[in-house]
Structure 1
């Protein structure tokens, strides 16, 4: 069953995120994908979201299809103007990619190409509108297309620091839904108690909510998140649990699997982000019973 059909039927979807290589050697990318074939509903392929130059998501999505895996690619406005965005969307559809997520590309100050100039010709809301326009059969200049694409389009929520920040983000996400988003991917879930009321409130969006489960790799990573990303909700309990474990790497895998099990009944899917530890995806899925 396709990702779109599982979403529309209300079934739980499992998504794994995999970055394309920084270069043309796709052997590891392909090997990691083969390990999870038949175990996830789609692979999300980012498109240099963090400002690190890599092979494009378009190529990564095509590689997934060649392996028999459905893909979802990121689309955003930082690096392309409206013409390039529309052209890439048409190309993606022609190459078999029918699932996209409109995201906000990260600031170039943390990129590996500091002199690159951001474009931001459209906003996220305008890009969602552009996708709807293409699906209706014309481009942003009003010129009729020779064949229109049909996408399953998602959006993302940014992290928030407090209740007011959450309300603002929820309101913005509601506007994205009105602009055409059909599902929403949330920031990583670390504090499960904090997640429960969040899941309840996001039901008002009226679309499937897919939270992110992030594989913490070490105590250092957990401490970094707690110190530098307070909005993420990293808890001292998680940090101490990893620190005290005899096998810290396996404990991180267990924490990710437990998070999936804990949220599964409240939402319609999960996005697994492992950032270089894609070889650990099968173990997480095993422990989560997926």
Structure 2
């Protein structure tokens, strides 16, 4: 008889991979250029025991969510200036993350009510607009989490993006200069817009430990709140770039968050909000404008 599926946050569910989230996984350098480090499994740090990256040059593991350009958790941002801040936005709304003359990226937020007077929110999907093209990447609605299931949805222009299962499998759009490559068997891809940017996208659920620490009470409604963790690396942006994350890469930017606060908050939600995930109508939009000199 096939094993029964159990909810991912019950303490009595030994089959749920998230129950063992504190058991350290390992990662390895995947660049053969670094021969002394290439392929050697290294234990992930305590701060990210299940998911980490390897700095091949130093041959050390690190938490991707602590690098500049990262967006993780209840959205926790690391700006291009290295300063950490939170931007909660609002559930079921869309916000501009990056807006530059040649590229624009929006995020759709999901969330739930909390006892702290605001919604808990997470990034459920993103839309990348480049030239006349549109790429959508989102997390499926998940009630039972299994690491072996692919919980990522991708669409390009009017069609689905289908990538064969397996690490290093990829999809390309030569006309747009966009490459989407799997960097794990499931739920993790790297998106490259040639000569513009790279973006790591990972689908993750809310873990039991996160729910306990932050008071999410996720187990009550049977929804794992699968969401995206993002990491950006930019090759070319204008000095006038804007958006929740983009502004931190702009020329002369100075952080407005309260330094030293336990939860430094980035405000200004209204100027970053868009009418839908594919819209560029946020107040700070730069998309399609001529490059700043």
TM range (shorter): under 0.3
TM-score of the superposition, structure 1-length normalised? 0.26
Q: Considering fraction of residues, name the structure with more strand.
A: 2
Q: Considering fraction of residues, name the structure with more helix.
A: 1
TM-score of the superposition, structure 2-length normalised? 0.26
